[in-house]
Amino acid sequence: MSQEKTTISVIKADIGSLAGHHIVHPETLAAATKVLAEAKFKGLIIDFYVTNVGDDLQLIMTHKRGVDAPEIHELAWNAFKEAANVAKDLGLYAAGQDLLSEAFSGNVRGLGPGVAEMEFVERPSEPVVVFMADKTEPGAFNLPMYRIFADPFNTAGLVIDPKIHEGFKFEIFDVFENKAVLLSAPEESYDILALIGTPGRFIVRRVYRKPDNEIAAVVSVERLSLMAGRYVGKDDPVAVVRAQSGFPAVGEVLEPFAFPHLVAGWMRGSHHGPLMPVSQRHAKCTRFDGPPRVLALGFQVKNGKLVGPADLFDDVAFDESRRIAQQIADYMRRHGPFMPHRLGPEEMEYTTLPSVLEKLKGRFFVEKVYEVKKPKVTTSLLSGKEEGD
């Protein structure tokens, strides 16, 4: 007889911010909380927690209705709409920014909000970590997810714990082609890295335990600019990771974030910056609208109830990571409008380059071209084949 499953749904949206793009207003948090409290009272959801990281409103909900349940997505949509209405009344900046439609159509995917959901049979003790990032894109979680589930130098359990020694499978989503591939670690590790090293296109969407296909992690993959056809804000991803007893330990799950790796986002979604692990009280983005931040909340899930949270990055053990992130931020900012601080034109959410080139096209002139001797062997980046003279 199959056991009843619990679903955890983490759905986020930027519905407006106080004084620019840096923090959610308390009254918008209260508006969303009221909507979810009423839904809990009516039995639609079992439990919930409302929070924010930077200017993103985060809804963490548990229920028994499965992934992509229309009634749960409609609930989240209504909570965001109520919060956006409050934001408009207060004159907050970019009120309703992530809500790309006026009407709900059965699922919030494609309407703007980011979604990370998983369904599982609860273990006797079910620890989960919810990661929430601001001023970056979903691919920002690629490196941490690989290190958590495939790197034995990060996750000792891959070597010494029989329950995870066989490894994990990575579902990698191509946001340009809207298709996914399932690859296994460690045997296909190089193929995994060949894809996810391009985080603007290939994103780790789900991770499964290899022996039984049990869900281990899920990441939101929504790209706002691809959905809207224009820049409407960075994607600010969320992720859910199960820990302990057949999965990496909580300490192994958090360890990759001790390295503040460079991610795309920051000011106007058009710069590289360090992903800084922060506590809830520091989950606001003011310096050049950043630097990008990530918050980690730990919960125990018991009969659908959310026990917690624990503010997992609120620890002096991450102080050095934050100091390094500040140094990286200083270094990157000194580049000003130059790459690699500024993203390449193909990655920027919007750019003046086409209009500048159009304006100047009649002013470009051709210099005398000197013949340059071609090297005997070159490598085609597209084909990977060596080509001779």
234 labelled catalytic? yes
Residues 6+ apart with CB under 8 A from 288: 266, 267, 271, 273, 329, 333
* H or E stretch at 98: none
Would you call 93 a catalytic residue per the annotation?
no
Given 81, 169, 234, 284, the catalytic residue: 234
Q: Which CA distances in Å does 16 have to 25, 29, 78, 229?
A: 8, 11, 15, 20
User: What's 41's DSSP letter?
Assistant: H
Closest CA relative to residue 54, chosen from 273, 337, 317: 273
Reported as type and span, the H/E element at residue 77 is: helix 70-90
Annotated catalytic, 231?
Answer: yes
Cα–Cα distance measured from residue 50 to residue 367, given in angstroms and rounded to the nearest whole number: 61
Cα(265)–Cα(369) distance, integer angstroms? 39
Check 14, 47, 56, 235 and give the catalytic one.
14
Please, are residues 183 and 172 in contact by the beta-carbon 8 Å criterion?
Answer: yes
CA distance 7 to 328: 38
Name the catalytic one among 34, 93, 191, 231: 231
β-strands 293-302, 276-278 pairing: parallel
Catalogue the active-site residues. 14, 231, 234
